[in-house]
Chain A
Amino acid sequence: MDKDVFSLCFMCSVRCPIQVGVKDGHVNWIQGNPHVAGIDGRLCPRGSAGKSLLYDDQRLQSPLIRVGDRGSGNWRKTSWEEALDYVGTRLKEIKDTHGGHAIAFGERAQLATHVSKTFLKALGSPNHFTHDALCKGSMNTACRSMFGYTDGQMGINYANTKHIVLYGRNIFESINVKEVNTLMDALEKGAKLTYIDPRVNVTASKAHRYWMIRPGTDLALNYGLIHVILKERLYDAEFVDKWVHGLTDLQDFIKDYTPEWAETETGIPAGEIKALAKEISREKPAVIFHYGYRCASHQNEIYMRRSILMLNALMGSVEAKGGIFFKKGPGAEGGKPARKLTEQEFPKIEVPRFDKVGTPDFPLPDPAHGVAQRLPYAILNEDPYPIKALINYRLDPLMSIADTNGTKRALDKLDLIVTIDINYSDIAWYSDVILPESIFLERTDCIQQMNGLKPMMFLREKAVEPRYDTMDGAIILKRIGERLGIGNYFPYENMDELVDWQLEGTGFTREDFAAKGFVSYGKSPIFWDRNDIPFKTPSKKIEFRSSLLEDAGFPSFPPYESPAAPPDKKFRLVVGRTGLHTHISTQNVPYLNELMKENLLWINTEKAAALGIADGATVAVASACGNGRIKAFVTDLIHPEAVFMVHGFGHEAKLAKRSYNQGCSDALLQENLYDKVGGSPAFHDTFVTVTPV
């Protein structure tokens, strides 16, 4: 029997709407949802490989319990009953002996995150953390410090922009289908693209202006731009007068940061900096200084992100067509969002989080996400208290937190490591129990609340029955919860019942999703009146001078510190993405692996020649905390101070046979440094040596 199912992709975390063709119980076609504007049937390479993942016989096929040493890869296949009893019994022992807070839970935030959070809250643990802090914690803090909203509550109106500036935001390779197409359409209509990156990539090749900036100096560039904009009064005076708190503080601060000074830092000619400031201000407010997606490069990350937000505010491009905007929720249309299990009442938790977020030690990061890279420290030092168990839900601390060797030393102290995943990830390989999850094509999931200019809800709908002995994540957690005496927090028996529970009170039912795969609360995009923008800062304004920062003892305008140039024969390690893989999770998918099996180390031609490194030769890369081997890509397309590799390669899980030991893991080399104000890791603050082998 043939059917078409509207659903949501999950080959990456964007969750593009898809339409799945099913014939005789098998997936035979996947395309983008043709009813969604900006998608129109389109699908990226990872999404196109969904079927390749579904029918891959190297993914997890049943619950497994470790029988040899951790990481040895000796597994015993077991039943769900035994695996869940095993996990439940051990978690109960740990909870009874050490308290619920001895259990930490890390996950890649996803549709069922409210279920995971419920699981931990019911256990009395504050220690839920997500991938988000590793990706953009400082951006979240920067947005709150300026606007009182998180980055997740903000969006970018590519469709109407006239000039967009991207700082290493490689939109055309870290593909989000709708974002790619709305930007491409804007470019077709004549929008200008300025791209800034120490390395050339596809996005750079589509730009009208490209600057190969000295790595780590984007903040200096922005100070130079702000200097010109203020000095020559290129800003939107009406908007700034009305909404900006702290303009005079900025004017005083920026005086010495001239474009000529910025040139010495960045390597970008002062004249070109001035030219951009003038050119872009002519198009205000329909301009975008893109605030970034992965915002985790340097230890001063929050100030770099704040400088971008200031540029937008100066252009008046906040809550403007063709600028940045605040997402509108169902409430803007008089509607209600889908319910979340976290709305229930939980036992009060008295202890601080493992990462001390929200305490005077680390006051500003968002406790909704935590700070994952603090986990190894917390475990090793039992500070603030012992952590005994870690549950990993599709977040791999070994490859996502810097310094894999350090993370392993911490994990070795744990009594229990459980991983819920679809593949043999490296953390699954290092776990005591693996609980295999059904992939996105095999499960119905929780409601996707999509806030934006038009609030909507989407649904991931099961297309086919699970191919192997796998379960839905939200059911796995419920079943473990039942064994821990907290089953009452999970008022459903299957995903259909959970979705129905979520939709209660929204005015929509499951049937409403059938026609197009989504429901809309309203019909037209909502922009707020620019004379009446409800900023949520204490001053109700855009806080250049931030009470959030200053009340916590941090300056709003710290003096600029020049990033160190790499010492002799060393390079700054810079990492990024490719359109063919999602972080650490798709390297073993057959069709994606076929196109990209390994990562390469980009190194500048002259530097490579001096070191005797030929294009394609294998080199050893070493930092203070790890070393690996990788093939060199010798090129003029990268700044001489930097070497670059794509994130997510160098897997250690042997049963993921295609990706095992292919390329080099960046996390193995990166030191666990981070922005102690904003919360992001500083993935680009490690120096490495590169030597021929």
Chain B
Amino acid sequence: MSQYYLFQDSKKCIGCHACEIQCKTNKDLPEGPKPCQIIQVGPKFINNLPKMSFVFMPCFHCENPWCVSACPTGAMQQRASDGIVFVEKDLCVGCKTCVSACPWGAPQWNPDTGKVEKCDYCKDRLDQGLAPACVTTCTTGCLKFGKVEDMTQIRRQRHAESVASPENSSF
């Protein structure tokens, strides 16, 4: 598993798709491939209130990535230093084996190059000390990137505040 975690604070996400556009802009991609994507679920009424979910789907950068094992040319790789899964374009022959292998649809097809694109957490930006493109400009700041342990802390904090709030609490 990569040592990073990309956390989506769904309470603050407004499903605006700026992350998708910024990602494509940063990678200069044509129409088609979306290395990250917001999938809207709902809205539906829950307790008389309309609720909708926006699920952020980048690559999960697995510990034992199906796509890397499946790739016959060695184009799909896992970076030794931090576990980021990325595709080395020069080695990709467009066989789509990784597309078949990934359970989450992370590898994306680029019709212009006939090769695969995928989320690499913007490793070029990380190497300059920057955050991934999607995180840097997220409209509400609901995307956060960092070491896994820091990200779980945000979730715990939010949950604690939620259960301890006066209207939800028995304290």
Interface residues, chain A, with chain B CB atoms under 8 Å away: 29-32, 40-45, 47-49, 51-52, 172-173, 175, 177, 180-181, 184, 188, 190, 200, 202, 204-210, 579-580, 590-592, 594-595, 636-637
Interface residues, chain B, with chain A CB atoms under 8 Å away: 12, 14-18, 20-22, 24-26, 31, 42-43, 45, 48-52, 136-141, 165
A48, B21: Cβ atoms closer than 8 Å: yes
A49, B21: Cβ atoms closer than 8 Å: yes
Q: Decide yes or no: A200 and B21 within 8 Å by CB, A31-B136, A42-B138, A184-B12 being known contacts.
A: no
A42, B51: Cβ atoms closer than 8 Å: no
B31, A42: Cβ atoms closer than 8 Å: no
> Nearest Cβ in chain B — how far from A657, in angstroms?
13
A42, B25: Cβ atoms closer than 8 Å: no
For A200, what are the chain B residues with a Cβ–Cβ distance below 8 Å?
43, 50
B139, A42: Cβ atoms closer than 8 Å: yes
Q: Decide yes or no: A44 and B18 within 8 Å by CB, A31-B136, A184-B140 being known contacts.
A: yes
B17, A43: Cβ atoms closer than 8 Å: no
Q: Is the interface of A mostly helix, strand, loop or mixed?
A: mixed
26 contacts between A and B (CB under 8 A): A31-B137, A32-B137, A40-B141, A43-B22, A45-B20, A48-B18, A48-B22, A48-B25, A52-B25, A172-B16, A173-B14, A175-B16, A181-B139, A181-B140, A181-B141, A184-B140, A200-B50, A202-B52, A205-B49, A209-B49, A580-B16, A580-B17, A591-B21, A594-B31, A595-B20, A636-B45
Q: Decide yes or no: A210 and B50 within 8 Å by CB, A41-B136, A43-B22, A590-B31 being known contacts.
A: yes
Closest to A590 in B: B31
B141, A190: Cβ atoms closer than 8 Å: no
B141, A42: Cβ atoms closer than 8 Å: yes
For A592, what are the chain B residues with a Cβ–Cβ distance below 8 Å?
21
Q: Decide yes or no: A41 and B137 within 8 Å by CB, A205-B51, A210-B49, A637-B43 being known contacts.
A: yes
Closest to A206 in B: B14
For A591, what are the chain B residues with a Cβ–Cβ distance below 8 Å?
21, 24-25
Closest to B18 in A: A45
Residue of B16, B17, B165 near A190 (CB, 8 A) is B165
For B17, what are the chain A residues with a Cβ–Cβ distance below 8 Å?
45, 579-580, 595
Residue of A172, A184, A205 near B50 (CB, 8 A) is A205
For A42, what are the chain B residues with a Cβ–Cβ distance below 8 Å?
137-141
Closest to A200 in B: B50
A205, B25: Cβ atoms closer than 8 Å: no
For A172, what are the chain B residues with a Cβ–Cβ distance below 8 Å?
14, 16
> Nearest Cβ in chain A — how far from B111, in angstroms?
12
- Bound Cα distance A61, B21 (Å): 24
- Bound Cα distance A135, B148 (Å): 47
A43, B26: Cβ atoms closer than 8 Å: no
Q: Which of B12, B15, B18, B31 has the most CB of A within 10 A?
A: B18
Closest to B165 in A: A190
- Bound Cα distance A173, B48 (Å): 21
Closest to B46 in A: A205
Q: Decide yes or no: A45 and B139 within 8 Å by CB, A184-B12, A202-B15 being known contacts.
A: yes
- Bound Cα distance A43, B19 (Å): 9
For B43, what are the chain A residues with a Cβ–Cβ distance below 8 Å?
200, 204-205, 637
For B50, what are the chain A residues with a Cβ–Cβ distance below 8 Å?
200, 204-205, 210, 637
Residue of B18, B31, B42, B48 near A43 (CB, 8 A) is B18
> Nearest Cβ in chain B — how far from A591, in angstroms?
5
B139, A43: Cβ atoms closer than 8 Å: yes
Closest to A204 in B: B50
> Nearest Cβ in chain A — how far from B118, in angstroms?
18
> Nearest Cβ in chain A — how far from B87, in angstroms?
21
Residue of A43, A188, A206 near B137 (CB, 8 A) is A43
- Bound Cα distance A29, B16 (Å): 19
For A51, what are the chain B residues with a Cβ–Cβ distance below 8 Å?
25
> Nearest Cβ in chain B — how far from A494, in angstroms?
30
> Nearest Cβ in chain A — how far from B133, in angstroms?
8
For B18, what are the chain A residues with a Cβ–Cβ distance below 8 Å?
43-45, 47-48
> Nearest Cβ in chain A — how far from B34, in angstroms?
9
A202, B14: Cβ atoms closer than 8 Å: yes
Residue of A29, A31, A206, A595 near B21 (CB, 8 A) is A595
B137, A205: Cβ atoms closer than 8 Å: no
- Bound Cα distance A52, B22 (Å): 10
Which 8 interchain pairs have the tightest Cβ spacing?
A48-B21, A45-B18, A43-B137, A200-B50, A172-B14, A579-B16, A205-B52, A48-B22
Q: Which of B24, B43, B137 has the most CB of A within 10 A?
A: B137
User: What 10 new A-B contacts, CB under 8 Å, besides A43-B18, A175-B16, A579-B14?
Assistant: A43-B22, A43-B137, A173-B16, A181-B139, A204-B43, A205-B42, A205-B43, A209-B49, A592-B21, A595-B21
For A579, what are the chain B residues with a Cβ–Cβ distance below 8 Å?
14-17
- Bound Cα distance A358, B75 (Å): 71
- Bound Cα distance A210, B22 (Å): 32
For B31, what are the chain A residues with a Cβ–Cβ distance below 8 Å?
590, 594
For A43, what are the chain B residues with a Cβ–Cβ distance below 8 Å?
18, 22, 137, 139
A45, B12: Cβ atoms closer than 8 Å: no
- Bound Cα distance A419, B155 (Å): 52
Closest to B133 in A: A29
For A32, what are the chain B residues with a Cβ–Cβ distance below 8 Å?
137
> Nearest Cβ in chain A — how far from B141, in angstroms?
6
- Bound Cα distance A184, B139 (Å): 11
Closest to A18 in B: B137
Closest to B22 in A: A48
- Bound Cα distance A156, B165 (Å): 26
For A40, what are the chain B residues with a Cβ–Cβ distance below 8 Å?
141
Q: Which of A45, A52, A181, A636 has the most CB of B within 10 A?
A: A45
- Bound Cα distance A181, B16 (Å): 13
Closest to A579 in B: B16
Residue of B20, B24, B26, B49 near A29 (CB, 8 A) is B26
> Nearest Cβ in chain A — how far from B140, in angstroms?
5
- Bound Cα distance A202, B22 (Å): 21
- Bound Cα distance A210, B47 (Å): 11
> Nearest Cβ in chain A — how far from B50, in angstroms?
4
For B49, what are the chain A residues with a Cβ–Cβ distance below 8 Å?
205, 207-210
Q: Which of B12, B22, B31, B141 has the most CB of A within 10 A?
A: B22
Q: Which of B12, B26, B50 has the most CB of A within 10 A?
A: B50
For A590, what are the chain B residues with a Cβ–Cβ distance below 8 Å?
31
For A202, what are the chain B residues with a Cβ–Cβ distance below 8 Å?
14-15, 52
Residue of A49, A177, A181, A206 near B25 (CB, 8 A) is A49
> Nearest Cβ in chain A — how far from B29, in angstroms?
9
For A208, what are the chain B residues with a Cβ–Cβ distance below 8 Å?
49
A180, B139: Cβ atoms closer than 8 Å: yes
Q: Which of B17, B20, B24, B43 has the most CB of A within 10 A?
A: B17
> Nearest Cβ in chain A — how far from B48, in angstroms?
8
> Nearest Cβ in chain B — how far from A73, in angstroms?
24
